[in-house]
Structure 1
């Protein structure tokens, strides 16, 4: 009887979350996505949008009744538009990444984490940057990694820059470079898409940060609502399921 009651209670809560917002005031939020996409978080193909962010907002729309309008902008312009209040939400952000902005923003509860890794063949144990001296390491142009910055030089770690993780992985599989600095989820996405990359793995963690939805302060009254919806998704493993949809696992 206790089990039945708990199930009824669970589905009643689900019903309230799903149905009550439909009778409340709904709003359309402008969500920032960056030009050229950011696989697997946001991807654009023949006018169609897909990816982790799109799936999360689709579910948030079902839970809250709100609508989300995706705006593709260059990074610099997107950040300015947020500062001016023309963008409502920037997804997948840690507050430390935006502290220097004119408008820092408000943040929901963390719904996932962002892990940056050194990706390549696990030939030896790597415990620090000095263990990869005299190696060629690929980095997306403009990106910085605190644990490596003081070690880049022709006599230490040789930095090889390219325009995207996708291009760096092509260099890695051709043995043109030894390692790639890349987001762990991004690496697992490309492994899902291309079996050639499955010989590589995370050999050293470069950094880890929790990520949230960054809201412009004009939307403060909606913060609690988004927190409740995200908490519901986290508790029911919906966020995990979305991430797993776009990443390679040996168990698949």
Structure 2
């Protein structure tokens, strides 16, 4: 009687890795540098639920973990203020910045290279109750103060902010922006809709805080130093796999139940 051979059932991660390698083969992008796993230094800033410093988790944190499970790379994450994070990238002290659109870094001396988009973010204005008004464009906010994140770019409002037609009240991260609004020190803040939804979920009183229409919708990507050009095919392939399996949508849904 011949012995029965038992083979382990492939795990979800194993199947993803097989699909990953097959995808690179089909794309003609399989070579040693493409598959060589590396330690990649990542800069985060505190912006729940995208990046949650207190818990070392968040949508972007989980996304990088999923990518690492496929590519074998190790992502070493450090938190900074937004402005310092950008300096760290410029100086080559970090290799990757998540959730960035190229138009936000046009003025950078080292714009970097970008992955394929993995999500889109919508910018809105969040108001204190009883202070909302229609925002049609920059003119709607002229002469007003708006809460902002230091180092952030706000497409469509950049010129008015730079010229002082709209006064920036800068803070270092989204939780400080929330406290600024909640304390009544300011009546409106720029915020991503995903952040606004998370705030309301964590603090139900914020369901009473009205939001403007969507002012801007942009694709977000991973921004990498050019020294990681060789790693871009495997990272893009991993993002494509995660998107096709609905994993990235699930990550957002997990934090925005």
TM-score range, shorter chain: 0.7 to 0.9
Does the residue aligned with 2:37 lie in a helix, a strand or coil? coil
Q: Counterpart in 2 of 1:191?
A: 200
In structure 2, the partner of 1:221 is: 230
Secondary structure of the structure 1 residue equivalent to 2:200: helix
State the partner residue of 1:27. 38
2:188 paired residue number: 179
Number of positions where the alignment pairs a residue of Structure 1 with one of Structure 2: 233
SS at match of 2:214: strand
1:109 pairs with one of 110, 113, 116:
116
Matches within 5 A, 1:41-52: 41-45=50-54, 48-52=55-59
Question: Deviation string for 1:78-98 (max 9, x for gaps)?
Answer: 334333433221111111222
Match of 2:72 in 1: 65
In structure 2, relative to structure 1, the CA distance for the partners of 1:102 and 1:176 (3 Å cut) is: closer
Residues 211 and 63 of structure 1, relative CA distance in 2, 3 Å threshold = same
Change (3 A) 1:15 1:144: closer
User: 5+ residue gaps in structure 1?
Assistant: 1-9
Going from structure 1 to structure 2, the CA distance change for 1:235 and 1:202 (only over 3 Å counts) comes to farther
Deviations 1:176-209 (A, max 9, x none): 5433211111111111211010122431333222
Give ranges in structure 2 of 5+ residues lacking alignment.
1-11, 25-31
Query: What's the CA shift for 1:131?
Result: 5.0
For 1:142-221, list aligned pairs within 5 A. 143=152, 145=154, 147-148=156-157, 150=160, 162-173=171-182, 177-221=186-230
Contact 2:138/2:160 (<8 A) preserved: no
What is the Cα deviation at residue 114 of structure 1?
2.4
Q: 1:38: Cα distance to partner? A: 2.1
Report 1 or 2 for greater relative contact order, CA contacts < 8 Å, sequence distance ≥ 6.
Answer: 2
Taking structure 2 as the reference length, the TM-score comes to 0.73
- TM-score w.r.t. the length of structure 1 is 0.75
2:17–2:70 CA contact under 8 A, matched in 1: no
Shift of residue 211, structure 1, vs aligned partner: 1.0
Aligned residues of 1:17 and 1:63 also touching (Cα < 8 A): no
Distance 1:138 1:91, change over 3 A: closer
Shift of 1:226: 0.7
Deviation at 1:216, TM superposition (A): 1.2
For the 8 Å contact 2:98–2:222, the answer to whether it is kept is yes
Report the structure, 1 or 2, having the larger strand content.
1
